[in-house]
Amino acid sequence: MMTEDKSKLLRSLTIDRSASETGRSSRRWLPISAGVVACIIVAFAVFAASEFRTQDGPKETAPTAQSQTPQPQQQQVAPASREAGNLAASGYVVARRKATVAAEITGKVVEIFIDEGMTVTDGQIVARLDSVLAEKDYELAQSRAEAANAAIAAITADLQDATRIMSRVQTLSQKNFATEADLTKAQARVGVLAAQLRQAQSQFETAKIDAKRSASVLDKHQIRAPFAGVVIDRSAQPGEMISPMSVGGFTRTGICTIVDMDSIEIEVDVNEAFIGRVAAGGAVNAVLDAYPDWTIPASVIAIVPTANREKATVKVRIRFVQKDPRILPDMAVKVNFLRDTKAGNAAATDTTAAN
């Protein structure tokens, strides 16, 4: 009995290797099994999400299609509303005829007959320069012309007398009362006087040209307005030296500045992206900054065929329908280009036909 008890006790203390190996193998496969299960769950979740998108896709795309259906109409309406608006631009009032009146010669100003704000006519004398020397030169030229004319008269009288003498000598020579030498001498006398007469006539023409030149120089001492207009600036004073070119010092180059008020117009810079909305002859409303409540009707004269690369603008010239003395050069102005609906529709039709 003791022996059997000992054997049972020994067997109970013996390690079961098969069971330990089975537990180890089960613990080894446990992480792998968990990973496989996780992958299956993830795959199922992805599959379920894709099915959910597939089912909900038509419901989302249908409203999108409906919202996109009217887009072509919106694209057609947007340019029309843009064209329906008036194009605005800003610029200045300018004068097409504006000149700084100056003398063609150098001289000292003696008198000035104008002042700012005065209206002058074409050819009106605005100033006078010292002309003492010019007057003396003109008198001298006239005297030379008179002397040349007197020389012509004297030589003409001598030529006539020599011609009569030559005729008598020819008659006497035919009757043998005069020698051949006398006839030759009379003929030579007539030839010399004829040459002297032509010379005197040439000198007289030269003297007349010199007299005309002196008269022109004398007339240049009176400075005249080149056209009718309004004096907007007076820059010279009596006693100052004036010259057609700047020679340094205190020599001025101009007497005054005259503006032709009938030539005033508007110049504005229009963005080149909108220049297609401007056409010659188009109606324009202009508002001066000085008179913000006064709308002035105007029209487009022309589009200057060049663009400003730095500002990306094109210059447009605009005329006033009616001139007004309140409109002055260099005034700031804002304009609105009014779009003609009929003209716009016609242009759109032409463009569509061309395309």
* CATH at residue 91: 2.40.30.170
* pLDDT given for residue 298 in this prediction: 95
> What is the reported pLDDT for 67?
39
196: phi then psi, degrees, rounded to nearest 5 = -65, -35
Same domain flag for 161 and 203: yes
Q: Residue 64: pLDDT above 90?
A: no
- 216 against 62, higher pLDDT: 216
> Residue 180: its pLDDT value, please?
84
Say what the pLDDT of residue 265 is.
94
- In this structure, is residue 319 part of a structural domain? yes
Residue 328: give the domain boundaries.
Answer: 86-97+261-341
Taking 60 as the threshold, does the pLDDT of residue 1 lie above it? no
Tally Cβ neighbours within 10 Å of residue 266. 27
Task: Please tell me the predicted confidence (pLDDT) of residue 197.
Answer: 93
Q: pLDDT tens, 131-149?
A: 999 999 999 999 999 999 9
- Look at residue 34 and tell me if it is in a domain: no
Question: 42 in helix, strand or coil?
Answer: helix
- Let me know if residue 204 belongs to a domain: yes
Q: What is the pTM of this model?
A: 0.58
User: In this structure, are 145 and 210 located in the same domain?
Assistant: yes
88-97, 174-183, 256-265: which range is least confident on average?
174-183
Last residue of a domain, one of 163, 191, 220: 220
The string of pLDDT tens digits covering residues 302-341 is: 999 999 999 999 999 999 998 898 999 999 999 999 876 4
Domain boundary among 220, 242, 276: 220
**227 Cβ partners below 8 Å, 6+ apart?**
97, 99, 122, 258, 260
Q: Are residues 192 and 273 in the same domain?
A: no
User: Is 114 part of any domain?
Assistant: no
DSSP for 310-332? TTTEEEEEEEESS--TT--TT-E
Averaged pLDDT of the chain: 79
- Domain end residue (candidates: 169, 194, 220): 220
- Regarding whether 142 and 215 lie in a shared domain, the answer is yes
Contact in structure between 279 and 343 (CB atoms under 8 Å) = yes
Write down the pLDDT at residue 103: 87
Looking at residues 96-113, what average pLDDT do you find? 91
pLDDT attached to residue 175: 82
For the ranges 52-66, 94-108, 290-304, the lowest mean pLDDT is seen at 52-66
Has residue 113 got a pLDDT over 60?
yes
The tens digit of pLDDT for each residue in 247-275 reads: 555 567 889 999 999 999 999 999 999 99
The answer to whether residue 175 is domain-embedded is yes
**pLDDT greater than 50 at residue 56:** no
What angle do the packed helices 180-219 and 132-174 form, to 10 degrees? 160
**Shared domain check, 211 and 143:** yes
* pLDDT at res. 40: 73
Rounded to whole angstroms, the Cα distance separating 156 from 149 reads: 11
Q: How many domains does the chain have?
A: 2
Residue 72 lies in a domain: no
Q: What is the pLDDT of residues 79-92, one digit of tens each?
A: 333 344 579 999 99
Distances 228 to 74, 123, 124, 126, 258 between C-alpha atoms, Å: 57, 8, 9, 12, 8
